[in-house]
Amino acid sequence: MTTIQTPPQPAVVRAETVPHTKPKDPLLSRTWVKVGLPLLVLALGVGAWEVASQTGLVNPITVPPASDTFAAMIDLSTKDYFWHAAWITLQETLLGFLIGSTLGLVLGALTGTFAVFRTALWPFIVAIQNTPRVALAPVFLTWFGFGMTSKVVMAAVICFFPVVINTVAGLSSVDANARMLFRTYGATTSQTFFRLTLPTAAPVTFAGIKTALTLALLGAIVGEFVGASEGLGVLVNEFNFQLEVAMGFAVVVYLAVIGLILYALIEWLERRLITWSN
Amino acid sequence: MTVTAPPARGAITAGEPIRLTSVNKTYTTATGPLPVLQDIDLHIETGEFVSLVGPSGCGKSTLLKIIAGLIPFDNGTVHVGEQAPKEGRRDVGFMLQQSVLMPWLSVRENVTLPFAIAREKGSHIAPRVEELLELVGLSHSADMNSWELSGGMQQRVALARTLALDPRVLLMDEPFAALDEFKREHLGLEVTKMHEDMGKTSILVTHSIPEAVMMSDRIIALGARPGRVVGDIRVDLPRPRSAAMIATPEFQDISRQVREALAGEDGSIS
């Protein structure tokens, strides 16, 4: 039997779920409180920002008030160049995500299934996982130019590894007793894979895919910062150079909206595909 | 007999005998060979219920897995029915301490799983699954997710799944050990009743002497390191068994015999 390396732990801890501490105060379980309290925090934050900027507590040129940012958002939404840039960034993100996570699934499945791949590749996967891969953005720019390709590659590279690591972790999380049970039923290798290994791995693997989608947008924007002619990252850069900080803020808010929409979509897909908890 | 014909649908299938002659098993470890089973001779009759008791490390689980064909043995002969042990035999059912249910399947789908793996199809399966769920008292929970059930109910699903293909031989590796005392006794009595109704040859590995006495026709006491038979105690309690028998002098006497057989064998025994 090949020595199995320390089983990789699920590398991704999802932070987006609010820790489920039982609310002691029954008031905190009311829907209007659950919705109202975060809204109140938002209002206070935006209000403080507005006041600080309007009263000159912070320089309104570098930190324009919230109202200006909001006006800039409305202004941007009427501009064709904004929608074009958003479309470019979205394409880079989704293409990079699809390529990166597909390759990640394939490599993760090989590494998680065959001990020879695990032994040969695991040290490199760990090494690359711990390398700040955004540092490769200038290299990709040199290799693939100012167009979309270098951003797609950046997005793919950055979201490749969480998928690999979580796929390996998922595949190695199959319970030894469950394997034994399948043996007592005389299950074939493919039956064990499709009826046991794959469904066991799916939730952990999908957590990696969710992270990958978030990272893909990050990769695309970093790629655009380093060198591009189109995209939302380019807009943020240009508005800042022109000291149109409110417009820059507005683009960032729209990026947050795009990120949230993508996240909501993948979350929806997860709920459709994985209806159980392990 | 080379191939066991699938049992008649819905029929109650009786058991088949199990015979072990001079079975030895030694594990190879980093510190050298570790003998776990030494010259095990064991003949279990058709329909007999036998418990294997003994301290940790006496090889009782290993013995059960050898009979299930899950691990090889070094020398000696083993016959389950007329064949050598082999994993995947549908006339042998194996039940573990953990229920090992598939969380992505409903209770009903978990019980159907053995049919799916055996690639058995047909209209007889659905009613058979309902019958099994009824048998273990889970008809009303059939559509629940398996992870929504309590530990005792999960083990009932595992029991139904073990019985699904109507095996002639039932091998149980501490199936109640993870349950609390009350559920343990309750489920033990139910399995005893099922055995009395079905007549399957059964082997139970357990740490609990009262459980062994309650359920068995015969108790094999195994000593530790290497595992060997140190006692073969017949349980002459009438069937059907009931919880009331625990208080009888006969029950206490058999328990004492088992304890005496194991006396001097290292380990904690309840």
B4 has pLDDT over 80: no
Q: What residue of A is the nearest CA neighbor of B88?
A: A186
Q: Which stretches of chain A score pLDDT less than 50?
A: 1-17
Distance from CA of A196 to the nearest CA of B (A): 8
Chain B residues lying within 8 Å of A191, measured CB to CB: 117
Query: Using CA atoms, how far apart are residues A103 and A97, in angstroms rounded to an integer?
Result: 10
User: Please, which pLDDT band fits residue B13 given cuts at 50, 70 and 90?
Assistant: low
Q: What is the CA radius of gyration of chain A?
A: 23
Q: Which of B100, B101, B173 to mutate to test the interface with A (most CBs of A within 10 A)?
A: B100
CATH number of B10-91+172-265: 3.40.50.300
- pLDDT above 90: percentage of residues in chain B: 71
pLDDT digits over A258-268, tens only? 999 999 999 99
pLDDT digits over B122-180, tens only? 999 999 999 999 989 999 999 999 888 988 999 999 999 999 999 999 999 999 988 88
Q: Name which of A178, A191, A199 is nearest B117 (Cβ-Cβ).
A: A191
Distance from CA of B263 to the nearest CA of A (A): 32
User: Please, which pLDDT band fits residue B58 given cuts at 50, 70 and 90?
Assistant: confident
Which positions in chain B have a beta carbon within 8 angstroms of at least one beta carbon in chain A?
68, 70, 87-90, 92-94, 96, 98, 100, 102-104, 113-114, 116-118, 145, 147
Q: C-alpha dihedral over A54, A55, A58, A60, to 10 degrees?
A: 30
User: Please, which pLDDT band fits residue B263 given cuts at 50, 70 and 90?
Assistant: confident
Alpha carbon separation from B189 to A66, B216, B239, B245 (Å, rounded): 72, 11, 12, 12
Domain edges within chain B = 10-91+172-265, 101-166
Lookup result for tokens 């590894």:
A161
pLDDT of residue A20: 54
- Which of A26-40, A188-202, B11-25, B200-214 shows the lowest per-residue confidence on average (mean pLDDT)? B11-25
Q: Quick check: helix, strand or coil at residue B170?
A: strand
Q: Which CATH number fits domain A66-273: 3.40.640.10, 1.10.3720.10, 1.10.3730.10, 3.40.630.30?
A: 1.10.3720.10
Chain A residues lying within 8 Å of B104, measured CB to CB: 199, 202, 274-276
Q: Name which of A186, A202, A276 is nearest B87 (Cβ-Cβ).
A: A186
B267 has pLDDT over 70: no
Mean of pLDDT values over B18-46: 92
The runs of H, that is alpha helices, within chain B are: 60-67, 107-117, 125-135, 151-163, 181-198, 209-215, 249-262
Q: Name which of A184, A196, A276 is nearest B88 (Cβ-Cβ).
A: A184
DSSP assignment of B215-261 equals H-SEEEEEETTTBEEEEEEE----SS--GGGGGSHHHHHHHHHHHHH
Q: What residue of B is the nearest CA neighbor of A194?
A: B117
- A178 close contact with B: CB closer than 8 A: yes
User: Please, which pLDDT band fits residue B5 given cuts at 50, 70 and 90?
Assistant: very low
- Residues whose CB falls within 8 Å of the CB of residue B8, separated by 6 or more in sequence, listed in order: none
ipTM: 0.88
Largest CA distance in chain B: 56
Mean of pLDDT values over B180-194: 90
